Amino acid sequence: MTRARVVVLDYGSGNVRSAVRALERAGAEVTLSADHAEASNCDGLVVPGVGAFAACMAGLRAVRGHEIVDRRLAGGRPVLGICVGLQVMFATGVEHGVTTEGLGEWPGVVERLHATPLPHMGWNTVLPPAGSVLFDGIEAERFYFVHSYGVRDWVMPTEHEVLRPPQVTWAEHGGDRFVAAVENGPLVATQFHPEKSGDAGAALLRGWVERLP
């Protein structure tokens, strides 16, 4: 049986070796690369992200990651964003008073959480919607988060809902609710780190890999 070919996009976002290893354990053949053709043509692309929104966007644009993501999604080819890799899929990020344009796959603003303590670091439950494929069988599990920023309001315009609307999973920290994951056709993203989330994260990644074309 041929293993799915997955590229973890290498754009300087930090230590991504744990994601590579977790995807390999999930059954994928994994390459860490910024090669445009390789990232465009693989079965599944993973966009990781650690650190500041603006720095991640600068790194993505430096390797033409915005073009790769856009081209893949236009062709219905799977993309998985992790942590800041979820955040950059939104329209804008605001950090320390500076607004940075994101990839704009979804409308919405990444902002500092209205919660204490920050960062939100550790294990937390999530609230997936009915019918979630990403969380099928692991709806009640806990996942590992490390972040101070997130999307606090889902603002998808109603005109998008003539098609199948994205499925949004929420989580809460310190009394503030934020987007924990989004399932939107070929584009799936999580605010938490599945590669650091034990058996539940392994199950999530395994399911994603097994569903690759």
Active-site option among 105, 111, 183, 195? 195
* Closest by Cα among 82, 77, 2 to 38: 77
Would residue 83 show up in a list of annotated catalytic residues for this protein? yes
Residue 53 CA to chain centroid, in angstroms? 13
Active-site option among 83, 111, 120, 183? 83
| Pairing outcome for strands 120-125 and 142-147 | antiparallel
Q: Distance between CA 180 and CA 189 in Å, rounded? A: 8
Would residue 56 show up in a list of annotated catalytic residues for this protein? no
Supply the Cα-derived Rg of the chain in whole angstroms.
16
Active-site option among 120, 147, 173, 193? 193
Would residue 193 show up in a list of annotated catalytic residues for this protein? yes
Q: Distance between CA 209 and CA 6 in Å, rounded? A: 8
Residues annotated as part of the active site: 83, 193, 195
